[in-house]
Amino acid sequence: MAHRQRTRRTAVERETVDFGVAELLQDPDRPRAWTLLIDGTPQSHVDLDDPGHLEFEYVRRLGHVVDLAAPPGRPLRVLHLGGGALTLARYVAATRPRSGQQVVEIDAALVDLVRRRLPLERTSRIRVRTGDARQVLSRAPEEAFDLLVADVFAAGRTPAHLTSVEFVTAAARALRPDGLYAANVADGAPLAFARGQVATVLAVFPYACLIAEPAVLRGRRFGNVVLVGARRELPIAVLTRLTASDPFSARVVHGEELTRFAAGAAPVTDADAQASPEPPPDLFGPRT
């Protein structure tokens, strides 16, 4: 969630799902592209003709992480916590054929809607499971995945139990030694939540970086921060070039600068975890 979107969209379907009202809005510039909203909050954009197209800024940044997780074209084992319309899973399937992917989505009715209206390619090898992200993660085998993406929102907020050291430790356990952890975090001034999440990731992974627009980092705008953690050095130079060339360019913060960003923030534990801040009511503009 939390991104800018074009305004020329027309609602084509509304359906009550388990955790709200889902809307599918057709993209006027792409004949088979759709935006999924839940209770008015944009969740996903999918182009059925071009799954390699990533519309939302933060999803483009997660796409860069996918691109750098392994040499080009090499299949990956990926665990997606949070499903939406399966945008990133479709991207992995398109850019890395034969990848084995598991998507965890708590809203069974939403999964059914996406399968009916935005069907997957039969060769995609994407398996969708319904359930709580942390519960499913706790049962994942050790060192099973090359990439784990945490992108779970409920009413526009990341649930508290997916923000702690215990949660990130469980994610690290499920990753292979050279695997990557990537999390989508939404925050605004004074960025206390984002700083706590950086401290949390650094408590588990020896290498980390964040990717965000300068306006978000300065607290001038509520928006998305993508956090990446690993047990190996990250390809910072390449990631910096990729994010700088995006339509909405972003900065990559790492090393001592990342340590300074998180200065004074303590790692979050299950005992003190809180959901991410609620987005401003006017963030996504007027309802359709």
Find tokens 């190996």 and name the residue.
232
To the query of whether residue 151 is one of the catalytic residues in this protein, the response is yes
Copy the structure tokens of residue 142.
């050790």
H or E segment to which residue 93 belongs = helix 87-95
Among residues 27, 107, 146, 151, the one annotated as catalytic is 151
Per DSSP bridges, beta strands 33-38 and 41-47 are antiparallel
Collapsing DSSP states into helix, strand and coil, what is residue 106?
coil
Count H helices, E strands: the chain? Answer: 9, 12
Residue 123: how many CB atoms within 10 A of its CB? 9
Task: Specify the amino acid at residue 77.
Answer: R
What is the DSSP code (8-state) at residue 184? E
User: Using N-to-C axis directions, what is the helix angle for 165-174 and 192-202, rounded to 10°?
Assistant: 50
State the pairing for strand pair 77-81/100-105.
parallel
Q: What are phi and psi of 114, to 5 degrees?
A: -65, -40
Angle, CA 123 vertex, CA 120 and CA 126 arms, to 5°? 60
Nearest to 207 by CA among 244, 174, 254: 254
Question: In this structure, is the dihedral angle defined by the CA atoms of residues 191, 193, 196 and 198, taken in order, positive or negative?
Answer: negative
Q: Which of 116, 97, 274, 112 is nearest to 192 (CA)?
A: 274
Active-site amino acid positions: 151
